[in-house]
Amino acid sequence: MNSTIILFLISLILMLIANFISKKSFMDREKNSPFECGFDPKNSSRLPFSLQFFLIAVIFLIFDVEIALLMPMIMIMKFSNIYYWTITSLMFLLILLIGLYHEWNQGALSWAN
């Protein structure tokens, strides 16, 4: 228990030191603006980003990983107790379906606004 606290404090101190060292000493409009041959930029250097696309991509990754977790369950079916396997599989699928329903209910799956 003592070593855990010591390791936590050491990592916290190192993160704080890195945070203080990495800060810029002055914030200037010219230093923060993008370089464009010495002229003022004509438009913003930031491109518009679709938050809806990001949400769909994150949902796809989550469900893709969960499908990869479902595949080995088919292989272990013949080695395990069928009762426990069924309970585990149904609970896992129930969690997936509740998550999908929640995302659908929140409107994260609809493209048209």
- Cβ atoms of residues 60 and 52 within 8 Å: no
The CA–CA distances, whole Å, from 55 to 61, 64, 69, 83, 106 equal 10, 14, 21, 36, 11
Domain boundaries, the chain: 2-106
- Cβ atoms of residues 59 and 108 within 8 Å: yes
Question: Under CATH, which architecture does the 2-106 domain have?
Answer: Up-down Bundle (1.20)
**pLDDT tens digits in sequence order for the chain, 113 residues long:** 688 899 999 999 999 988 888 766 566 666 666 665 666 656 666 667 777 788 788 888 888 888 888 888 888 888 889 999 999 889 988 988 898 888 888 877 776 65
What's the pTM?
A: 0.48
What is the DSSP secondary-structure string of 73-111? HHHTTTTS-HHHHHHHHHHHHHHHHHHHHHHHHHTTT--
